[in-house]
Amino acid sequence: MWGRFSGESRPADDPQVQADAPTNVDVIAPATMSTAEQMRHSDNYLSLKLDLHAFLIEKYNLAALDSIDVEGLLGEIRPIVRDYVRDQGIAMNAAEIDALAADTADEMLGLGPIEPLLKDDSIADILINTHRQVYIERGGQLESTPVRFSDEAHLLRIVNKIVAGVGRRVDESSPLVDARLADGSRVNVAVRPISIDGPLVSIRKFSRRPYTLERLAAFNSICQPMIDFLRIAVKTRKSILVSGGTGSGKTTLLNALSNYISDRERLITIEDAAELQLQQPHVGRLETRPPNIEGRGEIRQRELVKNALRMRPDRIIVGEVRGEEAFDMLQAMNTGHEGSMTTIHANTPRDALSRLEQMIGMAGMPMSQESIRGQIASAIDIIVQTQRLSDGGRRVTSIAEITGMEGTVVQMQEIYLYSRTGTGEGGAVLGHFQATGVRPRFAPEAEAMNLTFEADAFNPRTTY
């Protein structure tokens, strides 16, 4: 029946994989893809869907789309789709018509071909390499998908729908943009002329159910003594810097740490594209703004950090520190906003301190290297290092405490670390967590607040 709509296809995603599954997913052979799946990714089907979409846009009251959900829209367009298919002389059964109606509804209300990927909680990243190719990351591994767009204009229409939702634009004069979806998922877009072959879109999805440190422990990303240490550090208002590479889980860890902040505290978050999912009731969210078409109206993170200090925050949480705002962030941590948190791109805790020092220098303040390091040593208490390993798994590889200055060097002692011991079946990384035997300097302060560590929490002979 679907001979004219069949086409060569790639592996389909497995809908049975759960959001929390830490295992890798094997690619399904094209031969096992159902005829219906092959049909939905064929050239003729994509063309039919876009023609139908244009037909419905002409007939439908566009203003009503703002107040209708997908189910309501499906109920209204299904008979129209049935009549359209019949008038075009296309042979389809009832199930195939329902699928066509659902895909068309996704075009009208959602994000078209990638809408099913957004609904699949087992997918962590969606990577669109022009309109011809879409990859996903699942279980830490990249997979090709059969999803694609009919042409570059189709992809650009979806991109413009995303960026318009957060008041931003993308075109030849502004070819790079950071945006977010309604659920907080992070989106980066690059279009021509920056992207030579066509639009490149990266979507970092966030779990609908925010991660806790206990959930991360279930994936072997962290061990229980580390969790207890970080919980006590947050409750004793220690300022924390989460360091790691791209995709290492920095923002996820920052969200999880925020669970231990008291509901009675006022939090102000500052981000380039709002993506933090804090669970406290008293949160004020600030987001940077790019310049308008005349190049005016830009609001950078530094201005937001300065403004946050006038908003009576108990703690300030910066999604990622990457420039001169580092100076104002440290000033806040040193002047009554202890317990603030931020993330930074660095491969080791010592590298994180070096990067922070360079960023403070970008603020253009007349400060010596020694005074900059003194500011860092007095403002930051804990550095948590995260890493994405070769098997795709994320680990907290180090927790270090800053203990002060010795001469011109910031002193730091490692409390916990992750040691890699080998490689298992399928390339899985083998290793264990363990303490270094060093007891944190803030332990007496924690005990004064009735927050105690387990007796063997810092025993270096115990591994996890």
Least confident residue range of 46-55, 127-136, 248-257: 46-55
Angle between helices 349-362 and 369-379 (to 10 degrees): 120
The whole-number average pLDDT for the span 126-131 is: 94
Can you give the pLDDT at residue 70?
A: 64
Where residue 341 falls (left for φ over 0; alpha for ψ -120 to 50; beta otherwise) is beta
Can you give the pLDDT at residue 32?
A: 40
The whole-number average pLDDT for the span 153-173 is: 85
pLDDT bucket at 29, cuts 50 / 70 / 90: very low
Least confident residue range of 42-46, 171-175, 300-304, 329-333: 42-46
* 3-class secondary-structure state, position 48: helix
pLDDT digits (tens, 9 = 90+) for 252-282: 899 999 999 999 999 999 988 777 888 788 9
Can you give the pLDDT at residue 60?
A: 61
Percent of the chain with pLDDT over 70: 86
pTM tops 0.95? no
Calpha distance 7→296 (Å, rounded): 49
pLDDT digits (tens, 9 = 90+) for 406-415: 988 999 999 9
- pLDDT of 4 strictly over 70: no
Contact 463, 253 (CB under 8 A): no
- In order of start, what are the domains of the chain with their CATH numbers? 3-204 (3.30.450.90), 213-448 (3.40.50.300)
Amino acid type, 215: R
Cα Rg, the chain, nearest whole Å: 25
- pLDDT of 62 strictly over 80: no
Beta bridge partners of 203: 126, 187
How buried is residue 412: exposed, middle or buried, by Cβ count under 10 Å (0-12/13-18/19+)? middle
22 vs 346, which has greater pLDDT?
Answer: 346
The two structure tokens encoding residue 402: 């800053």
Can you give the pLDDT at residue 267?
A: 94
The whole-number average pLDDT for the span 43-72 is: 65
Can you give the pLDDT at residue 398?
A: 97
pLDDT bucket at 19, cuts 50 / 70 / 90: very low
pLDDT digits (tens, 9 = 90+) for 288-334: 888 877 778 889 898 999 899 899 999 999 988 988 889 888 888 88
Q: Which single residue is written with the structure tokens 């303490």?
A: 435
Comparing C-alpha atoms, which of 124, 126, 118 is closest to residue 140?
A: 124
Can you give the pLDDT at residue 41?
A: 58
End-to-end CA distance of the chain: 57
Can you give the pLDDT at residue 50?
A: 67
